[in-house]
């Protein structure tokens, strides 16, 4: 019998992290909190204080559980171990000293227990087995531990043995007091994700309870399981929480064991079902059909100085068909940097305006919003369309004026930053919302828009939505995170672009690069100079930007050198951008504020300093600022050697390809999906168990099964979602 039956139900358990013990048969026990890798001093103190004031099952535990997302019994079942500890064997202290950084479990009798004050307050306990002594050192500890570890008590301790001043030593071992001959567990001990107020022992008991009381029958029909070769849910759940002695530890650690595969499949399936169901629900909502193809649309098309590419025509047709529907469009328009998304967006807006509705266009930065405003207003105003400009930094008076234009319905097109959703702007007839560079907005902002009222005359209708992104999302990711969206792809660049030549140059040849900028300027070409990225400190980042500007101005006395950075006043920023656009500034020194969207076709040289500090998609975006005109363009990536492995891979990728999709694919490879999407983007939607890279084959299966089930088997869909989502409505909302 490896573990004692859980002695207390969850509601009876008070759980200061460091005081309750792991149940061991016929033994009082204690596991030190700090050894579990959490409960630093402050937290431990807090937990202790609360334990006094809060009764068993009081707020601390309940809050802690809620923070871990543990509400229902099923949530506990799905709280799967992070890893396992092997407590099935005991080695001698002598042997443990040779295990070189691998954790070992030893057992002995306490021979001394003292609080020492040098170099700082700590609890130092010595114990001994036949092979010799071991020092246990605790830098965080409770007074009660001196009682538990009193001389003569028998201790089982687990940790890494190091050679300390007094020989074999464990710092913060996990330990428990046992009676002589206490049986060893014969299965691996699960280690769960924990949080403040929730200890391992508490979780173990609660999960054991849940395993005894929850209906673990399968949500999926047996025929399907057989067809897919999946392990039954109950067997998988029991195995993962209590792995039997003969299980492959490696398969558990790598999460390739069939039990893990089953859980990952279920999770992916739940996500697919929930996203697809959200998509179906959206189709049931109303939207105003935007059907008219009138003077604005035709006028704009006729006025364009170029013909649309075949890809632009194709995605435009897809978008326009969606706009005619009486349920809201939610379409993601992907297209590499410079592929010409703006004009597609403007034509979609034209159709909305022709149909008598307003359009809101949101961009993530003021510079980009401003540029859209100028470009699109120049297209639209000659056609009699009033365009309003709305950002957070507008003066009160101007903002009020802009809002009045929107609220009277006079402004048919409103362009701005996310102030558009934050400020309480009321659109009397909002038909279409366009979000540019949507990957810069969080999931929350995307949802805020999803629910924005569309047409004041018929409030049940929501606006159509078009999201645009130049960060192409690889297929697997798109299928999981954007399963509720339709996707259009612009897969060709406008004609006449010459490829950008990318060169990697050591930072110590910076002077040669400055000379090159000089030569380019003499030929009438313009250049960007991107300052080194200093993520740790905004103040330092600004300092670097101004220093770089000063140095380059001094080095290039006959050139006009401009500067833009994030902390400048919007008017100042705009002034400089304008001067650059008009060709009056030759060299624009900038921080990453120019990363997205900025479009100045005459600029054909881009220098990025300390390129090794930038991410791959960031470099691609930055490089996309050049190569927009007919002139041959170049991008110089200055790097500081020696380069680390990852930086080397990134820079090599930049030199080898300029295809955004290929770059995204490699970025995913280098970084992994969690980071690729960025915390904001993925948020709670991140999968807990499945890994999109190694489990791609499961994503494909889950997707196919989801489609089948939604078509033929609603009962199974409901049961599966009830198990996996619990109280959450869908995978994007929590
Ligand atoms: P992005 O997709 O990165 O947002 P933009 O919409 O800014 O790209 O377009 C990049 C540049 O290409 C702009 O200067 C735009 O006017 C121009 N452009 C867009 N479509 C075409 C086309 N079909 N032919 C030629 N130039 C185009
Ligand atoms: Mg753009």
The full DSSP string for 74-96 is: HHHHT---SEEE--S----HHHH
End-to-end CA distance of the chain: 39
Nearest protein Cα to ligand 1, atom 19: 340
Q: At what angle do helices 233-241 and 200-213 cross, to 10 degrees?
A: 150
Q: Which CATH number do you get for residue 422? A: 3.40.50.300
- Find the Cα–Cα–Cα–Cα dihedral 623, 625, 626, 629, rounded to 10°: 150
Collapsing DSSP to helix, strand or coil, 391 comes out as coil
Q: Would you state the pLDDT for residue 21? A: 34
DSSP three-state, residue 704: helix
Q: How far is the CA of 114 from the centre of ligand 1 (A)?
A: 74
DSSP assignment of 530-564 equals EPPP-TT-HHHHHHHHHHHHHHHHHHSTTS-EEEE
Residue 163 in any domain: the answer is yes
Q: Is residue 286 part of a domain?
A: no
CA distances from 37 to 45, 104, 578 (A): 15, 16, 54
Task: Please identify, among 133, 152, 177, the residue that sits at the C-terminal boundary of a domain.
Answer: 177
Distance CA 472, CA 349 (A): 23
Same domain? For 457 and 344 the reply is yes
Residue-level pLDDT at 293: 85
What does the pLDDT read at residue 331? 92
**Phi (first) and psi of residue 430, to 5 degrees:** -90, 115
Largest Cα span, the chain: 94
Q: Which atom of ligand 1 is nearest to the CA of 312?
A: 23
**Average pLDDT per run of 10 along the chain, which is 734 residues long?**
33 30 31 35 39 47 83 91 87 89 90 89 94 93 90 94 87 91 87 85 92 93 94 96 87 92 94 84 86 93 94 97 93 89 96 96 86 91 94 86 92 89 79 85 62 65 88 66 80 85 95 93 92 79 91 93 88 89 94 77 93 88 86 93 89 91 80 51 58 80 92 93 72 43
Q: Please check whether residues 64 and 122 belong to one and the same domain.
A: no
- In this predicted structure, what is the pLDDT of residue 66? 82
The torsion defined by the Cα of 284, 288, 292 and 294, in degrees rounded to 10, comes to -140
In a domain, 335, yes or no: yes
Give the CATH number for residue 131: 2.40.50.140
* Closest by CA position to 41, among listed 30, 49, 52, 31: 49
Of 617, 632, 657, the last residue of a domain is: 657
Helix (H) or strand (E) holding 505: strand 500-506
A 10 A CB-CB count for 569 gives 9
**What is the distance between the alpha carbons of residues 399 and 395, in angstroms, rounded to a whole number?**
6
Q: Note the helical H segments in 491-614.
A: 510-522, 538-555, 570-581
CB count within 10 Å of CB 674 equals 14
Q: Nearest Cα to 144, choosing from 62, 52, 61?
A: 52
Q: What is the token pair recorded at 698? A: 């499961």
Same domain, 424 and 328: yes
Distances in Å between the Cα of 166 and the Cα atoms of 107, 124, 127, 485 are 18, 11, 12, 63
353 and 450 assigned to the same domain: yes
**H-assigned helices in 285-388:** 295-303, 310-323, 341-354, 366-380
Same domain, 453 and 525: no
Question: Which ligand approaches the C-alpha of residue 346 most closely?
Answer: 1
Same-domain status, 456 and 540: no
> What integer pLDDT is reported at residue 101 of this predicted model?
75
3-state secondary structure (DSSP) of residue 27: strand
Q: Which atom of ligand 1 is the closest one to the Cα of 309?
A: 23
Indicate the residue among 622, 657, 692 that finishes a domain: 657
- Is residue 294 within 8 Å of residue 354, measured between CB atoms? yes
722 domain-assigned:
no
- Pick the closest to residue 706 from 329, 267, 330 (CA basis): 267
Pocket of ligand 1 (CB under 6 A): 306, 308-309, 312, 335, 337-343, 470, 494, 599, 601, 628
Tokens of 403: 């809002």
Residue 476: per-residue pLDDT: 63
CA of 449 from ligand 1 middle (Å) equals 26
Chain centroid to Cα 582, Å, comes to: 38
What is the predicted pLDDT for the residue at 672?
Answer: 60
Query: Do 117 and 62 share a structural domain?
Result: no
The verdict on residue 103 lying in a domain is yes
Q: Whose CA is closest to atom 5 on ligand 1?
A: 340
> Atom 4 in ligand 1: which residue has the minimum CA distance?
341
197 with 304, same domain? Answer: no
- Does residue 366 form part of some domain? yes
Q: Which ligand is nearest to the CA of 315?
A: 1
Q: 306 CA to middle of ligand 1, Å? A: 9
Ligand 1 centroid to Cα of residue 359, in Å, is 21
Residue closest to 224 by CA, chosen among 724, 706, 726: 706
- The closest residue, in CA terms, to atom 26 on ligand 1 is 494
- Picking from 587, 621, 623, 592, the residue whose alpha carbon sits closest to that of residue 530 is 592
In a domain, 1, yes or no: no
Q: Which of 303, 378, 494, 602 should be mutated for ligand 1, with most atoms under 8 A from CB?
A: 494
pLDDT at 63: 84
What is the span of the domain harbouring residue 619?
500-657
The answer to whether residues 462 and 593 belong to one domain is no
- Residues 299, 154, single domain; the answer is no
- Pocket test of ligand 1: the residue of 343, 364, 378 to mutate, having most ligand atoms within 8 Å of its CB, is 343
The set of residues, in sequence order, having a beta carbon less than 8 Å from that of 222 and lying 6+ positions away, is none
Helix, strand, coil percent content, the chain, rounded in steps of 5: 45, 20, 40
Q: Do 154 and 27 share a domain, yes or no?
A: no
Ligand 1 nearest-atom number relative to CA 628: 11
CA of 370 to the centre of ligand 2 (A): 12
405-427 residues labelled b (16+ CB within 10 A) or e (exposed): bbeebebbbbbbbbbbbebebeb
CA–centroid distance, residue 618 to ligand 1 (Å): 19
Pair 443, 585 in one domain: no
**Strand partners of residue 156:** 107, 176
Residue recorded with tokens 């009962």:
715
Q: What is the residue with the minimal CA distance to atom 1 of ligand 1?
A: 338
CA distance 663 to 651: 11
Q: How many domains does the chain have?
A: 4
CA of residue 338 to ligand 2 center, whole Å:
7
Ligand 1 atom, smallest distance to 343 CA = 6
Give dist(CA 666, CA 678) in Å, integer: 16
Nearest residue to 623 via CA among 711, 720, 520, 502: 502
CA of 437 from ligand 2 middle (Å) equals: 7
The answer as to whether 479 is a domain residue is yes
Look up the pTM and report it: 0.67
**Ligand 1 atom 18, closest CA:** 340
Q: What is the pLDDT of residue 710?
A: 92
């Amino acid at each position: 019998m490896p573990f004692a039956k859980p002695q207390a139900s969850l509601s009876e358990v008070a759980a200061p992290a460091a005081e309750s013990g792991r149940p061991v048969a016929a033994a009082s026990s204690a596991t030190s909190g700090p050894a579990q890798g959490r409960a630093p001093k402050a937290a431990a103190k807090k937990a202790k204080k609360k334990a006094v004031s809060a009764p068993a099952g009081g707020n601390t535990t309940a809050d802690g559980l809620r923070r871990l997302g543990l509400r229902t019994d099923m949530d506990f079942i799905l709280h799967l171990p992070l890893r396992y500890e092997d407590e099935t064997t005991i080695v001698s202290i002598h042997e443990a000293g040779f295990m070189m950084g691998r954790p070992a479990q030893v057992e002995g009798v306490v021979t001394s227990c003292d609080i020492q004050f040098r170099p700082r307050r700590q609890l130092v306990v010595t114990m001994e087995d036949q092979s010799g002594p071991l020092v246990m050192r605790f830098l965080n500890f409770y007074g009660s531990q001196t009682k538990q570890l009193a001389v003569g008590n028998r201790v089982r301790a687990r940790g890494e043995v190091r050679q300390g001043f007094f020989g074999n030593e464990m710092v913060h071992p996990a330990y428990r007091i046992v009676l002589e001959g206490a049986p060893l567990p014969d299965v691996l001990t699960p280690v769960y994700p924990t949080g403040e107020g929730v200890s391992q022992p508490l979780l173990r008991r609660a999960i054991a309870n849940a395993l005894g009381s929850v209906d673990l029958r399968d949500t999926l029909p047996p025929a399907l399981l057989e067809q897919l070769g999946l392990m039954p849910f109950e067997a998988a759940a029991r195995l993962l929480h209590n792995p039997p002695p003969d299980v492959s530890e490696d398969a558990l650690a790598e999460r390739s064991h069939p039990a893990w595969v089953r859980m990952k499949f279920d999770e992916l399936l739940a996500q697919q079902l929930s996203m697809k169901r959200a998509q179906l629900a959206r189709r049931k909502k109303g939207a105003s059909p935007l059907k008219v193809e009138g003077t604005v649309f035709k006028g704009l098309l006729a006025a364009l100085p170029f013909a649309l590419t075949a890809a632009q025509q194709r995605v435009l047709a897809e978008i326009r068909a969606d706009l005619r529907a009486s349920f809201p469009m939610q379409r993601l328009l992907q297209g590499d940097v410079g592929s010409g998304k703006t004009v597609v967006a403007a034509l979609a807006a034209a159709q909305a305006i022709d149909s008598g509705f307003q359009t809101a266009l949101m961009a993530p930065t003021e510079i980009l919003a401003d540029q859209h405003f100028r470009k699109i207003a120049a297209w639209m105003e000659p056609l009699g369309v009033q365009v309003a400009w709305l950002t957070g930094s507008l003066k009160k008076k101007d903002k009020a004026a802009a809002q009045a234009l929107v609220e009277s319905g006079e402004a048919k097109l409103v362009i701005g930053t996310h102030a558009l959703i934050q400020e309480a702007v009321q659109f009397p007839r909002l038909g279409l919302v366009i979000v540019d560079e949507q990957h810069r907005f969080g999931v929350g902002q995307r949802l805020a828009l999803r629910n924005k009222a569309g047409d004041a005359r018929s409030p049940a209708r929501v606006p159509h939505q078009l999201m645009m992104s130049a960060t192409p999302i690889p297929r697997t990711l798109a299928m999981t995170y954007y399963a509720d969206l339709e996707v259009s792809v612009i897969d060709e660049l406008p004609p006449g672009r010459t490829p950008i030549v990318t060169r990697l140059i050591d930072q110590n040849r910076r002077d040669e690069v400055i000379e090159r900028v000089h030569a380019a300027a003499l030929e009438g070409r313009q250049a960007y100079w991107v300052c080194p990225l200093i993520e740790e400190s905004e103040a330092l980042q600004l300092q670097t930007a101004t220093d770089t500007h000063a140095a380059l101005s001094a080095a290039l006395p006959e050139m006009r050198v401009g500067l833009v950075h994030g902390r400048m006043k919007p008017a100042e920023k705009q002034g400089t951008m304008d001067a650059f656009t008009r060709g009056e500034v030759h060299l624009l020194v900038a921080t990453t504020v120019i990363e997205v969207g900025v479009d100045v076709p005459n600029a054909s040289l881009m220098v990025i300093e300390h390129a090794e500090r930038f991410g791959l998609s960031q470099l691609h975006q930055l490089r996309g600022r050049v190569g927009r005109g007919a002139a041959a363009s170049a991008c110089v990536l200055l790097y500081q050697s020696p380069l680390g492995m990852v930086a080397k891979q990134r820079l090599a990728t930049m030199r080898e390809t300029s295809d955004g999709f290929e770059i995204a694919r490699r970025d995913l490879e280098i970084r992994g999906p969690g980071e690729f999407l960025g915390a904001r983007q993925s948020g709670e939607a991140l999968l807990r168990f499945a890994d999109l890279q190694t489990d791609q084959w499961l994503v494909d299966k889950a997707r196919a099964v989801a489609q089948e089930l939604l078509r033929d088997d609603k009962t199974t869909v409901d049961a599966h979602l009830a198990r996996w989502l619990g109280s959450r409505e869908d995978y994007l909302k929590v």
